[in-house]
Amino acid sequence: MSKTVRVGVLQMPSSRGSAWRIGLKGAARRLGWGLVKGTDVSLEGDAPAQSQIILLRDGAQALAMAPHLDACVVVTEPLEDICAAMAAHYPDKKIKAYAVAAERLAAATTLARRGAAVVQASAASADLPLIGQVLIQPVTEVAPAGVLDPAPLDMFAGEGPQPGHQTVWPWDLFNYRTTPRSRVAPPHIDLTGRARVLFHGPRFSLPAGEWRVRLRFHLDPEGRESPLKFEWGAVEDFETLELQLDAAGLYEVELTKRWEQPVAAELRVWAAAAHFLGSFEFVSADVAYLAH
Amino acid sequence: MTSFSTEDIGLEVSNLGKTYARSASAPPLFRNLNFTVGRSDRLAILGRNGQGKSTMIKILGGALAPSEGRVNWRMTNSWPIGFSGAFQGSLTGVDNVRFLARVYQRDFKELMGLVDGFAELGSKMAMPVKHYSSGMRARLAFGLSLAIDFDCYLIDELVAVGDARFQRKCNEELFERRAQRAFIMASHDMRTVGRVCDRALIIEGGRAKMFTDIHEAIDIYTWLRAA
C-alpha cells in the first residue's frame, strides 16, 4: 500500500471560493482522494487510509495543521478583491471584515514563507503540489454588497509585507471606551476619570517580523501632568512606553516590537493614572514593517 | 450630573465663584460652578488643602459671601458642622442655645436637653463659650446642629470633632439616624466619603468638576494628593 498524503488548501476570502471547491472536488475524485474540512481531520494517530485534500477553515487552523501536512496551498486574490468579498460577507461590520481578512492574509504570508504554493484564485487552472492539475470552472461574479477600503491592509498587497512598507490605520479602526459622537472625525477624549484604557485596537493579524507603530496625537493636560501609557503587541506581550506630559501640543510616539508568529496586533493607549483635567485627540496612526 | 425633577432639587448653585481679593491679580479659588443637590443627596466636596473646600461649605452655609453667582436653597440647611463662628463668645453655652432656640423658633428646654445630651459638656454649658477649647466649641456646634432638624447638613471635616467615641456617636447620629437627609460634606477622610456619599465635587486649581461615581472621584482625589 502506497503512503497516503495530506495537502492543505487555505483560501483567501474570494467570490471564486465555490468554483475552487468544485475544482478541488474534481481533482480529489480523479485521484481517488478524500476532500475534507479541516475541522473533520484528526491529526492524532496514524496516517489516513486515504490521501486527503484538506480545506483549511481559517488562518489559525492552517498554521496549526501546517506542520502535519505534506504540502500546503494558498489560493489568493488581489487585495481589493479580498476586501470586496469581505464587505459582501460582513456588511456593516467593517472592523470584523478587516480582522478576518487580516487573519487569513497573515497566515497566508506565513505559509508562503514556509514554502507553501501560492496560486491566484482567478486562474482557469492551477498545478498544485502532489495534486497536479486542478481545473476551475468560470463563475458568474456576484457584485459585492459593500465596499471595504483595502488601504488598512495594504501591507498584504502583492507579495505580502515588505520591509519599509507603511500602512495608515485610521482612527475609526480603534475601539474607544466611550462611543465617539462623530463618525467622521476622531473623538475628543476627556481624560478626566480613573486610570483606564482610552482606546485600543485594531487587533489585525500581522505576520512574524519587526513591526513599528507610530501614533500622533494632540494632548492638552490643562497645566497638570498627564501620565499616559502606550502599548504595542498582542495578548500579554507588549512593548510599553510611559510618559508624563505636562505641556499642550502635538506629540508623536513610536513603539517597535518583534514577534515570531502571526499575532493580532494591537495598540493600546492608557490614562496611566487618574486625571482631574485634560483632553486627548487622536491625529493619526501608521504601522510599518521593518524587518523579517 | 444627576438630574432631579424640580421638586426634588433642594439646592441650586449657579455660576458660583470666589476670589479672595488679596491683590488685583489674585486667581479665583473657583468659578463658574453650577450644580444641584437633591433632597436626599449626599455630596462630598473633595480637594487638597487650600483649594476651597471649607470656603465652599461656608458660602453654602451663608457664613461667607460668594464673589459671583448664586446659592438658592429650597430646603433648610444647617450651618457648617464643626464651624462655631455663630457663637457669641461672652454668652454661656446655655445662653447660646437659648439664643438659637429663639432664632429657629424651637422650645428652649427641649433644645437644651437635646444639646446637652449629645454634646456631653455638663457643667461647662454654664461657662462663657470664649473659654471653651476648640473641641468643646465643636461639640456644642455639632450638638446644636443635630438638635435642630435640618433638611441638609453641611459638614466640614467631621473627624475634627472630639475623640474616637464622640466621632462614632456623630457618625451614627448623622449618617444612620438621618439617613434620608441631604449632606454636603468636605472631607479628607476617603473611607467615610466612600461609605456615605454618592457624588463628589472636586475642587482643584480654580476648577471644579462634579463626579457621579464616588469611587472614581476618590481615585482622582487620591491621585491629586499624591501628585
Whether B185 and B141 map to the same domain: the answer is no
pLDDT tens readout for residues B86-107: 678 899 999 999 998 998 889 9
A277 and B207 within 8 Å at the Cβ level: the answer is yes
Q: How far apart are CA A274 and CA A192, in angstroms?
A: 7
B220 and A194 within 8 Å at the Cβ level: the answer is yes
Q: How far apart are CA A274 and CA A226, in angstroms?
A: 9
Q: Which of A276, A277, A279 best probes binding to B when mutated, by most B CB atoms within 10 angstroms?
A: A276
Inform me whether the pLDDT recorded for B56 exceeds 70: yes
Last residue within a domain, chosen from B92, B116, B149: B149
Whether B170 and B208 map to the same domain: the answer is yes
For residue B178, the enclosing domain spans: 1-78+151-227
Q: Give the pLDDT score at A251.
A: 97
pLDDT tens readout for residues B114-166: 998 888 889 999 999 999 987 788 788 888 888 888 999 998 876 556 677 87
Q: How far apart are CA B221 and CA A106, in angstroms?
A: 46
**What is the CATH classification number for the domain harbouring B35?**
3.40.50.300
Please tell me which residue of chain A has the smallest CA distance to B213.
A193
CA distance from start to end of chain A:
42
The lowest-confidence range among A86-90, A112-116, B18-22, B54-58 is B18-22
Q: Give the pLDDT score at A96.
A: 95
**Residue where the block lists cell 483635567:** A277
Query: Residue B219 is nearest to which of A222, A223, A274, comparing CB atoms?
Result: A274
ipTM over 0.95: no
Residues A25-59: b if buried by 16+ CB within 10 A, e if exposed: ebbbeeeebbbbebeebeeeeeebeebbbbbbeeb
Is B208 in contact with B193 (CB distance < 8 Å)?
no
Q: Give the pLDDT score at B5.
A: 62
Q: How far apart are CA B44 and CA B28, in angstroms?
A: 21
Q: What residues of chain A lie within 8 A of the CB of B218, using their CB?
A: none
Read off φ and ψ for residue A132, nearest 5 degrees. 90, -145
Q: What residues of chain A lie within 8 A of the CB of B223, using their CB?
A: 273-276
Whether B9 and B55 map to the same domain: the answer is yes
For the residues A97-109, what does the mean pLDDT come to?
A: 96
Cell numbers placing B178: 438621618
Q: What residues of chain A lie within 8 A of the CB of B204, using their CB?
A: 276-277
For the residues B185-209, what does the mean pLDDT come to?
A: 91
Q: Which is more confidently placed, B24 or B187? A: B187
Whether B184 and B141 map to the same domain: the answer is no
B220 and A274 within 8 Å at the Cβ level: the answer is yes
Closest CA to A59 of A189, A270, A205: A205
Q: How far apart are CA A69 and CA A54, in angstroms?
A: 9
B224 and A277 within 8 Å at the Cβ level: the answer is no
Q: Could you tell me what percent of chain B has a pLDDT over 70?
A: 91
CA distance, residue B121 to nearest chain A CA (Å): 43
- As its CATH architecture, domain A166-291 has Sandwich (2.60)
Inform me whether the pLDDT recorded for A273 exceeds 90: yes
Inform me whether the pLDDT recorded for B169 exceeds 90: no
Inform me whether the pLDDT recorded for A46 exceeds 80: no
Neighbours of A168 (CB within 10 A): 13
Count of CB pairs separated by less than 8 Å, A with B: 32
Mean pLDDT of chain B: 87
Q: Could you tell me what percent of chain A has a pLDDT over 90?
A: 79
Q: Give the pLDDT score at A1.
A: 54
CATH classification (class only), A6-140+147-156: alpha beta
Residues A126-148: b if buried by 16+ CB within 10 A, e if exposed: bebebbeebebeeeeeeebebeb
Whether B221 and B125 map to the same domain: the answer is no
CA dihedral for A102, A107, A113, A118, sign (positive or negative): negative
Last residue within a domain, chosen from B98, B133, B149: B149
pTM of the predicted structure, to 2 decimals = 0.84
The lowest-confidence range among A149-158, A171-180, B197-206 is A171-180
Query: Residue B223, CB half-sphere, CA atoms under 13 Å: how many?
Result: 22
Q: How many domains would you assign to chain B?
A: 2
Residue A177 binned pLDDT confidence (cut-offs 50, 70, 90): confident
Question: CB neighbours of A266 closer than 8 A, spacing ≥ 6?
Answer: A200, A201, A202, A203, A231, A232, A233, A234
Given CB atoms, is B110 within the 8 Å cutoff of chain A?
no
Closest CA to B93 of B122, B58, B51: B122
Q: Give the pLDDT score at B137.
A: 83
Whether B165 and B213 map to the same domain: the answer is yes
The lowest-confidence range among A58-62, A175-179, B13-17, B66-70 is A175-179
pLDDT tens readout for residues A123-145: 889 999 999 999 998 765 665 55
Whether B113 and B206 map to the same domain: the answer is no
Question: CB neighbours of A20 closer than 8 A, spacing ≥ 6?
Answer: A9, A11, A14, A75, A121, A136
Inform me whether the pLDDT recorded for A20 exceeds 90: yes
Q: Give the pLDDT score at A5.
A: 93
Question: CB neighbours of A247 closer than 8 A, spacing ≥ 6?
Answer: A221
Cell numbers placing A162: 515588505
Whether B25 and B136 map to the same domain: the answer is no
Q: Give the pLDDT score at A174.
A: 94
Q: Give the pLDDT score at A263.
A: 96
Q: Give the pLDDT score at A143.
A: 54
Give, as one character, the DSSP assignment of residue A67. G
Whether B141 and B34 map to the same domain: the answer is no
Domains of chain A, by residue range, sit at 6-140+147-156, 166-291
Last residue within a domain, chosen from B149, B179, B197: B149
